[in-house]
Structure 1
Amino acid sequence: MATQAKEKQKSIVFFHPDLGIGGAERLVIDAAVGLQNRGHKIVIFTSYCDPKHCFDEARDGTLDVRVRGSWPIPSSILSRFSIICAILRQLHLIFQTYLTSELRDLKPDAFFVDQLSAGLPWLRYFYPDTRILFYCHFPDLLLAQGRTHWLKRAYRLPFDLLEQWSMSFADSIAVNSGFTKGIVGKVWPDLAREKDLQIVHPCVDVKPKKIDIDNDAVPVWQDTNILLSINRFEKKKDIGLAIRAYAGLGKHGRQGVRLVLAGGYDHRVMENVVYHKELVKLAGELGLKTATTKTIVTALNVPDNVDVLFLLSVPNTLKEMLLNSARLLVYTPSNEHFGIVPLEAMLAGVPVLAANTGGPLETVVEGKTGWLCPPDDVEKWTQVMNKVLHRMSEDDVKKMGNAGKERVKSEFSDVKMAERIDGLIDGMANSTRKGTVELSLFLMTIMMALFDVVYFVAKQRKLLGEKLEKVSLPPFVLTLVSIISWAVYFVVSLQTKSSRQKNKKRNAPAPSGREVISYSVPCCTKHW
């Protein structure tokens, strides 16, 4: 039995851009720990990981986390060009681990890459025998803001094309929900036809957790009804919705109640800093008293007259305390790709109030584990808050909380997710791989372009120009020939792909009876 287990052990290498605190980072950590618990050797490479701003498993030795390629490329330039910097940082990370032989020495059986796909062709090129699993949280082209201006659309176009092309080098593509799978199928129909997109829901650790806090501090939370929101401080999370709904309770309805807004906050990210200030201003305009803190000690000793408490960069201990003390979780993001926080709340026995869009439709069961409300109807959110605070008995709240616990344990456990990913990695061994001919030709094109530039500059020099007259070439002729060749190649490829699709449709058997479309996800509603 021991020999059999040893034979199944795999070396799996993770690549993640910045290993901070967020839903994507939580998934990476859970996947890595789960696969490690199944007996595999796990190493995570990242461009940045601040021990003061990351999950416990990334800093306490549970996982082998290696920071490479953090210098000299910044995460952004004057708070702009983030996508260029992110791609360069990933390529730097891959090239550094390749050139130093650090990656080769690990003898990886598989790569797990998420968020950014630009480096996949290079991993395929450098390690032709190693399979690649790409986890798509959401298409990056839909996350980019400011596309209303034509200049931003033109700027983003090459990166959008690169995203789809580079993802095709993955041997398997996983998505976090049926919602995301539908979006990917709409945005990249060719990719969805070429790759069988697999749904791997994010998970939570269902094992009981021990919270180390002083007993004297517990009553501070027990004396107050907590409406809790846990999100990164980003505009797309729409945290202001929770503040407006809470203000709608009125002064009498807010007695003995506090809205706690906790989540990921990075002082390096300008959006976090600016949005936090905007939320504080919004609360003030609605007549709510606010306080901001970062530590457990100061959080537990906030004055009773504070209506809205902001907790920045919440450590796990404080987060577990909050979940165990909360009366209701208020989850405000619209069209969230999945959303791990509702699962954490349900596991803690806390009912969830979430937007009736995106991932929560697959996790929260209306009326049984929580409520789903339109994100543009603040009054309905206020009504649910009032119901939970003043109209539901303790037994009713507890019953709903227990239903949430059972749902999470049966459908979204960390053991199930690790088992699912392990199965996908095993299945990649039989998948058809994309060749690297395009990448080789692209490198050749770059070399020709560089040669043209050097040749042109050299001809401007009198001495070198006289010597080069014997082999005179028109300016940038090689680059022009390469561009024309690529254009012909793409036209022929599109025509070939189109003819294949027509033949496939022509040869496809006619559907018999009524066609039924289903998704293999729990409680998934077709809403895209």
Structure 2
Amino acid sequence: MAKGKATSKLNIAIIHPDLGIGGAERLIVDAAVELASHGHKVHIFTAHHDKNRCFEETKHGIGNFLPSPGTFPVTVYGSFLPRHVFYRLHALCAFLRCLFVAFCMLFMWPSFDVIIADQVSVVIPILKLKRSAKIVFYCHFPDLLLAQHTTFLRKLYRTPIDYVEEVTTGMADLILVNSNFTASTFANTFIHLNAKGIRPAVLYPAVNVDQFKEPSSFKLNFLSINRFERKKNIELAILAFAMLHSPEASLTVAGGFDIRLKENVEYLEQLKALAEREGVSNRIRFITSCSTTERNALLSECLCVIYTPKDEHFGIVPVEAMAAYKPVIACNSGGPLESVKNGVTGFLCDPTPEEFSSAMAKFIKDPKEAERMGREARKHVVDSFSTHTFGQSLNRYIVDIHRGKED
């Protein structure tokens, strides 16, 4: 993509389903902060925003008022709409909530220069009615691959949704994805878009490295940070820890937890029961929905971070851990293949308790090795995954798509 020169500041809208706490939300907040820092006028629209469960940066502009320079307003439409119907039809409810937000934007707000749609592509045809705006779609991963087509009825339910996802995704003026892994998956999944020559560009998520200071000390504590969802495979960390047979070591399992979500509640109880069965419950601490300050404190004091999802689309946690001078033990698939340097900033392992436990044992045996890898990890993130690098790349994409430039 051609590099953009200085340009007039743009009026940019961002639409996101639920502005809670998670990797996708962190990326959107970083995008808003960085674009605002480039002088653009940024406004986030969402269907849900709980000021008690959100990133600090989004609290500055709750409502429709003009925030202070470098920040952005957050406007909520449709929070009354359901997230599910008796714990079913999640995708359909997400469609309806995001469509409601899009229609409110269409009729209640003036034109925008660029609109960034995140996660849910069904809003793109509505947003295209604002003919003056260029539409950028950020695809974290094709939703149709996240859905389970386990029964005939579910396949019948998902087929039109999957079709709409591909068609509407292709209507964006620019498609961004979070890793080369996701880009290849996109091409293999959306075969009709691929046949038309529609290719996504890769924009890696990033972290603000300045929030992490070099720790002065650490404990023999392993840290797992993830949302309490089964796909995050957190039981792998517990089973690997149990195999260590190291009474001086401990494990902290922290992450996003939403009491509204049945899976979060059930999975946490399952993990606690697993720790009890493995005889390590007295050395495992569970922390739900910790604040950014609490998370940073946990990172500072741990020995290393255990990241257990398999085939993760990108995974912001390993990057945050490395920015905090901590090595990472992660699965040898998906996004971590692009973020973790095996044997340099951590270890990439087969997703088995034996492999993970073996890597953890190396740090127990030689904590100085964890410190050395941590310093290498920090340098790696500063060079490749800082918010400055992310902001420069995103700004260039936004400016160039507004000008009508193509790759």
Q: If the TM-score is normalised by the length of the shorter chain, which range does it land in?
A: over 0.9
Match of 2:75 in 1: 66
- Structure 1 partner of 2:102: 94
Q: 1:226-253: CA deviations, max 9, x gaps?
A: 1000000000000000000000012xx1
Of 90, 109, 112 in structure 1, the residue corresponding to residue 113 of structure 2 is: 109
Pair member with larger Rg: 1
Match of 2:32 in 1: 32
Find the counterpart in structure 2 of residue 266 from structure 1: 258
1:403 maps onto 2:376 in alignment: yes
2:396 aligned with 1:423:
yes
1:275 maps to 267
User: Are the equivalent residues in 2 in contact too, given 1:171–1:432 (CA < 8 A)?
Assistant: no
Kindly provide the CA deviation profile for residues 79-102 of structure 1, in whole angstroms up to 9, marking residues without a partner as x.
111111111111111112322x2x
Paired AA for residue 164 in structure 1: E
Cα separation, 1, equivalents of 2:401 and 2:210: 30
Q: Which runs of 5 or more residues in structure 1 are unaligned?
A: 212-217, 290-305, 434-528
The equivalent residue for 1:378 is 353
Gaps of 5+ in 2: 62-70
CA deviations 1:1-35 (Å, max 9, x no partner) are xxx96x52111100000000000000000111011
Match of 2:204 among 182, 201, 205: 201
For 1:75, the equivalent position in structure 2 comes to: 83
Q: Structure 1 residues 24, 143: CA separation in 2 closer, same or farther (over 3 Å shift)? A: same
Change (3 A) 1:65 1:98: same
**Is the Cα–Cα contact under 8 Å of residues 220 and 302 in structure 2 kept in the other structure?**
yes
Structure 1 distance, partners of 2:268, 2:56, is 24
Letter in 2 for 1:59: K
> Please, which of 220, 227, 232 is the counterpart of residue 225 of structure 1?
220
- For the residue of structure 2 that corresponds to 1:8, the secondary structure is coil
Quick one: distance in 2 between partners of 1:172 and 1:431?
A: 10
Deviation at 1:378, TM superposition (A): 1.3
- RMSD across aligned positions (CA): 1.9
Alignment of 1:121 with 2:125, yes or no, is yes
Aligned-partner SS, 2:84: coil
Look up the SS of the partner of 1:18 in the other structure: coil
Task: Specify which of 305, 317, 320 is matched with residue 344 of structure 1.
Answer: 320
Question: For the residues of structure 2 that align with 1:111 and 1:196, how far apart are their CA atoms?
Answer: 19
Separation in 2 of the partners of 1:427 and 1:60? 29
Q: Given the superposition, is the C-alpha separation of residues 288 and 134 from structure 1 closer, same or farther in structure 2, using an over 3 Å criterion?
A: same
Residue pair 2:218, 2:302 contacting (<8 A) in 1 also: no
Provide the residue aligned with 1:504 in structure 2.
none
Query: 2: distance between equivalents of 1:431 and 1:35?
Result: 19
Mapping 1:262-341, distance limit 5 Å? 262-289=254-281, 306-341=282-317
Mapped contact 1:29–1:57 kept (Cα < 8 A) = yes
On the 8 A contact 1:23/1:340 being kept in 2, the answer is yes
How far residue 191 of structure 1 moved from its aligned partner, in angstroms, is 1.4
1:473-512 Cα distance to aligned partner (Å, 9 max, x none): xxxxxxxxxxxxxxxxxxxxxxxxxxxxxxxxxxxxxxxx
**Matching residue's letter, 2:271:** L
- SS at the partner of 2:259? coil
**What's the offset of the Cα at 1:224?**
3.7
- Look up the equivalent residue of 1:63 and give its one-letter code: F
CA distance in 1, matches of 2:325, 2:317: 13
Shift of 1:327: 0.2
**Which is bigger in relative contact order (C-alpha 8 A, separation at least 6)?**
2
Match of 2:179 in 1: 177
Equivalence for 1:481:
none
Distance (Å, rounded) in 2 between the aligned partners of 1:310 and 1:63: 33
SS of 2:347's partner is strand
Q: Which amino acid aligns with 2:30?
A: D
For residue 426 of structure 1, report the CA deviation from its aligned partner: 2.2
TM-score w.r.t. length of structure 1: 0.72
| Residues 393/332 of structure 1: CA separation in 2 closer, same or farther (3 Å cut) | closer
| Separation in structure 1 between the aligned mates of residue 9 and residue 23 of structure 2, nearest angstrom | 28
| 1:21 pairs with 2:29 | no
- 3-state SS, counterpart of residue 48 of structure 1: coil
Task: Report the residue type matching 1:364 in the other structure.
Answer: V
Q: 1:137 aligns with which of 140, 145, 164?
A: 140
User: Is contact 2:311-2:335 (8 Å) kept?
Assistant: yes
8 Å Cα contact 1:138-1:180 kept in structure 2: yes
DSSP 3-state at the match of 1:194 = coil
User: Structure 1 residue 374: deviation in Å?
Assistant: 0.6
- Distance in 1, matches of 2:228 and 2:212, equals 26
Give the secondary structure class of the aligned counterpart of 2:258: coil
Task: Tell me if the contact between 1:349 and 1:405 (Cα under 8 Å) persists in the aligned partners.
Answer: yes
Partner residue in 2 for 1:158 = 160
- Alignment of 1:51 with 2:51, yes or no, is yes
Name the counterpart of 1:522: none
Q: In proportion to residue count, which structure has more helix?
A: 1
Distance in 1 (CA, whole Å) between partners of 2:105 and 2:115 is 13
Residues paired across the two proteins, number: 392
Establish whether residue 388 from structure 1 lines up as the match of residue 363 from structure 2. yes
Letter aligned with residue 357 of structure 2 = T
CA positional deviation for 1:430 = 5.7
Tell whether the 8 Å contact from 1:230 to 1:341 is kept in structure 2 after alignment. yes
1:243-265 Cα offsets, whole Å, 9 max, x none, are: 00000012xx1x22210000000
Q: Secondary structure at the match of 2:185?
A: helix
Q: Go from structure 1 to structure 2 and tell me whether the alpha carbon gap of 1:381 and 1:129 turns closer, same or farther (over 3 Å shift).
A: same
Matches of 2:163 and 2:127 in 1, distance apart?
A: 19
Cα shift at 1:287: 1.0
Residues of 1 paired with 2:165 and 2:392: CA distance?
Answer: 28
Aligned ranges for residues 443-522 of structure 1 at < 5 Å? Answer: none
SS in structure 1 at match of 2:311: coil
TM-score by length of 2: 0.93
Aligned to 1:500: none
